[in-house]
C-alpha cells in the first residue's frame, strides 16, 4: 500500500489530526501574545509620549471657510470685451464719448496728473477749481508743478501777475525856444518856470543832460521852412538818449506797464520803469520794474 492509498483510507483521521495541530498552534500564539501584552502596551505609551499632538482647527477660520462656501459664486471680470465696458466714459472736447485711455479730457493737463491728486476729472470746470482753497486754480497748480491738494504748496504769487499792455508816457519837458546857444526848456503842462540851458547842462528835476544840438529846418504843408532843430538828451544813470524836437511833445523813454493781478479778487494797476511795487498777500516782498520790451 502506497502513501496515496493510505491517505484515501485514513482521510478523516488525517484531517482531524491536521485540525488539532492548527488549533494547538493558534492557542500557543494567543498565549504568547497575552503573556507579552503588558510589556508591548507600556512600550507604546512611552513612544507616543514624544509625539506632537496636532493643533485643533481654529473655529474662526472654519466659520470663514463656511461663509465663503455658502456664498453664491460670483464672476470676476478682469479684461475687456465687446459686451462689458469696465472704464469710465466722458464727453470729450469734440462732444463725443471718450475714455481716459484715448484722450486728454482737460487739455493741457494730463489725465494722470488729475488722477494722481484725486481731482474730479468728470467735472467740466475741474481746471478752474481750487481744491485746497489756497487761491490758485488746479490749472495754475499744474503749471507751477505744485500740489493742488496742499495749501502750503502753491506757485509764487508773482505767477498771477500778467502784463496787459505797455506804454510810453509823454516826456515832461519841451524844447520851447532857442536864442543863440541858449535853449528854453518848459514843462509840458507849462506850470513851472522856463529853464534856460546850454549844451552840457542838466535839466533840473531829471537825470537828463543836454549833450548835443542839431539845427534843422523842414517845409510844412504851406512850403514854409519850419525850425525842427533837435536837442539830444542823455540819461546820466543808464546812458539812454532822447531827442527833443523844437516845440513838440516827445515820448518819454521811461516805459510803463499795465498789469492785472489774478486770483479771487483780480485788480489792474500800472507801474512805471524803476518803480517798486508789492503783491498781496505778501506786502513785505518788493518788486521793481526794470524795463519793458515789446515782443
Spell out the per-residue pLDDT of the chain, length 295, in tens. Answer: 555 666 566 667 767 777 788 788 777 778 777 777 666 666 666 655 555 555 555 667 777 777 777 776 665 555 554 555 556 666 666 677 766 666 778 889 998 899 899 999 888 899 999 998 888 889 989 998 999 999 889 888 888 888 888 877 788 899 999 999 999 999 988 888 999 999 999 999 888 999 999 999 999 888 899 999 999 999 898 888 888 999 998 877 767 888 988 777 788 888 887 788 888 888 888 988 876 665 5
Calpha distance 90→92 (Å, rounded): 6
Query: What is the pLDDT at residue 157?
Result: 83
CA atoms of 206 and 172, how far apart (whole Å): 9
- Rounded to two decimals, the pTM is 0.39
* Burial per residue of 216-235, b for 16 or more beta-carbon CB atoms within 10 angstroms, e otherwise: eeeeeeeeeeeeebbbbbbe
- CA 11 vs CA 135, 171, 282, 294: distances in Å: 121, 156, 129, 139
Question: DSSP class of residue 281?
Answer: T
Strand segments (E) across 70-222: 89-91, 97-99, 161-170, 173-179, 182-187, 195-197, 208-214, 217-219
141-149 long-range contacts (CB < 8 A, ≥24 apart) are 142/109, 142/113, 147/117, 148/117, 148/119, 149/117, 149/118
Joined grid coordinates for residue 285: 516782498
Share of the chain residues as helix, strand and coil, in percent rounded to the nearest 5: 25, 30, 45
Amino acid at each position: 500500500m502506497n502513501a496515496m492509498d493510505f491517505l484515501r483510507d485514513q482521510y478523516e483521521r488525517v484531517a482531524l489530526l491536521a485540525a488539532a495541530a492548527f488549533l494547538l498552534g493558534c492557542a500557543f500564539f494567543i498565549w504568547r501574545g497575552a503573556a507579552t501584552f503588558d510589556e508591548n502596551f507600556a512600550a507604546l505609551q512611552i513612544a507616543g509620549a514624544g509625539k506632537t499632538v496636532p493643533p485643533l482647527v481654529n473655529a474662526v477660520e472654519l466659520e470663514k471657510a463656511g461663509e465663503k462656501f455658502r456664498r453664491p459664486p460670483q464672476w470676476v471680470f478682469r479684461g475687456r470685451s465687446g459686451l462689458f465696458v469696465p472704464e469710465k466714459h466722458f464727453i470729450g472736447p469734440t462732444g463725443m464719448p471718450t475714455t481716459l485711455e484715448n484722450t486728454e479730457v482737460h487739455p493741457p493737463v494730463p489725465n494722470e496728473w488729475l488722477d494722481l491728486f484725486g481731482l474730479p476729472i468728470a467735472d467740466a470746470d475741474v481746471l478752474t477749481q481750487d481744491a485746497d482753497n489756497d487761491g490758485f486754480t488746479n490749472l495754475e497748480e499744474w503749471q507751477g508743478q505744485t500740489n493742488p491738494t496742499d495749501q502750503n504748496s502753491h506757485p509764487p504769487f508773482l505767477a498771477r501777475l500778467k502784463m496787459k499792455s505797455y506804454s510810453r508816457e509823454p516826456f515832461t519837458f519841451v524844447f520851447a525856444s532857442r536864442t543863440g546857444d541858449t535853449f528854453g526848456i518848459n514843462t509840458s503842462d507849462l506850470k513851472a518856470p522856463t529853464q534856460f540851458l546850454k549844451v552840457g547842462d542838466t535839466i533840473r528835476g531829471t537825470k537828463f543832460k543836454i549833450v548835443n544840438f542839431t539845427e534843422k529846418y523842414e517845409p510844412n504843408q504851406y512850403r514854409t521852412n519850419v525850425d525842427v532843430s533837435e536837442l539830444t538828451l542823455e540819461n546820466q544813470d543808464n546812458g539812454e538818449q532822447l531827442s527833443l524836437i523844437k516845440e513838440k511833445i516827445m515820448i518819454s523813454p521811461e516805459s510803463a506797464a499795465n498789469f492785472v493781478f489774478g486770483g479771487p479778487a483780480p485788480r489792474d494797476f500800472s507801474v512805471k520803469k524803476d518803480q517798486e511795487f508789492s503783491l498781496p498777500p505778501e506786502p513785505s516782498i518788493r518788486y521793481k520794474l526794470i524795463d519793458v520790451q515789446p515782443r
